[in-house]
Amino acid sequence: MSGAILILSGPSGAGKSTIIQRSAPHIGPFYFSISTTTRPPRPGERDGVDYYFVDVESFERDIAAGEFLEYAKVHGNYYGTSLRPVREALEEGKLVIFDIDVQGHRLAREKMGEIITSAFITPPSLAELKRRLTERSTDDEEAIRRRLQNAKEEIEALEEYDYLIVNDDLERATEEFIALARTSRLKPSRAERVRFRERWLERE
């Protein structure tokens, strides 16, 4: 495998999707890992594009079959990253971008830590997060309340991340993300370093 992984976490409503979309033309070949979830689609979301939307039985079958690189329960729903497409993209040398929660970040680090760069993305304050979630109007009041509560818990994991992007000014946050995506490609696995050194020494 010669690719690298960039993990993004941060509260729902932080602007992760917006930033990834705006950065896409500027960061070279990448594969955005499409997660599987048991959460119902929001208006405008498409199966196979935003998520693979499945029922609980199907998700639990995939857990039992060992299909997930990581999975977690977030806001009462299952979310998980399928291993196979990630492996394939890494073998093609692509940068694989994950938008996963703090539990998923921990599990992925345990399994593939040496090629992972991670960033926590957040609006400048809890109040601003609330404003954006309300304005996005894709979630009802109860869902927003749950997301804000979850955000308070997630920010406790801030120290576990390599980088922090404060999404205040969208332009600047996007530039920071582009810089990070380019840099994260430069993180080789231990095996790649060994291979590189062997080849380097061969050419005396």
Check if the beta carbon of residue 79 is closer than 8 Å to that of residue 36. Answer: yes
| Residue 135 vs 198, nearer CB to ligand ADP | 135
* 79 forms part of the interface with ligand 5GP (CB under 6 A): yes
Q: What CA–CA distance (Å, rounded) separates 10 from 121?
A: 5
Taking contact as CB under 6 A, which single stretch among the options 79-87, 115-123, 129-137, 158-166 is the one that binds ligand 5GP? 79-87
Determine how many CB atoms are found less than 10 A away from the CB of residue 135: 9
| Residue 23 vs 35, nearer CB to ligand 5GP | 35
Which residues of this protein are in contact with ligand ADP, per CB under 6 A? 12-18, 132, 135-136, 167, 170
For residue 136, the partner it binds in ligand 5GP, ligand ADP, none, with Cβ less than 5 to 8 A by kind, is ligand ADP
* 122 forms part of the interface with ligand 5GP (CB under 6 A): no
Check if the beta carbon of residue 73 is closer than 8 Å to that of residue 42. Answer: no
For residue 167, the partner it binds in ligand ADP, ligand 5GP, none, with Cβ less than 5 to 8 A by kind, is ligand ADP
* 103 forms part of the interface with ligand 5GP (CB under 6 A): yes
| Residue 50 vs 192, nearer CB to ligand ADP | 50
The residue within the footprint of ligand 5GP, chosen from 30, 89, 99, 122 (CB under 6 A), is 99
For residue 80, the partner it binds in ligand ADP, ligand 5GP, none, with Cβ less than 5 to 8 A by kind, is ligand 5GP
Check if the beta carbon of residue 10 is closer than 8 Å to that of residue 17. Answer: no
Give the closest residue to 17 by CA, choosing from 98, 115, 83, 72. Answer: 98
For residue 81, the partner it binds in ligand 5GP, ligand ADP, none, with Cβ less than 5 to 8 A by kind, is ligand 5GP
Contacts for 136-144 with beta carbons within 8 Å, 24 or more apart?
A: 136/13, 138/42, 138/43, 139/42, 143/75
Exposed/middle/buried for residue 89 (C-beta within 10 Å: 0-12, 13-18, 19+):
buried
Binding residues for ligand 5GP, rule CB under 6 A, total 15
Cβ neighbours of residue 120 closer than 8 Å, sequence gap 6 or more: 8, 9, 10, 155, 157, 158, 161, 163, 164, 165
| Residue 170 vs 194, nearer CB to ligand 5GP | 170
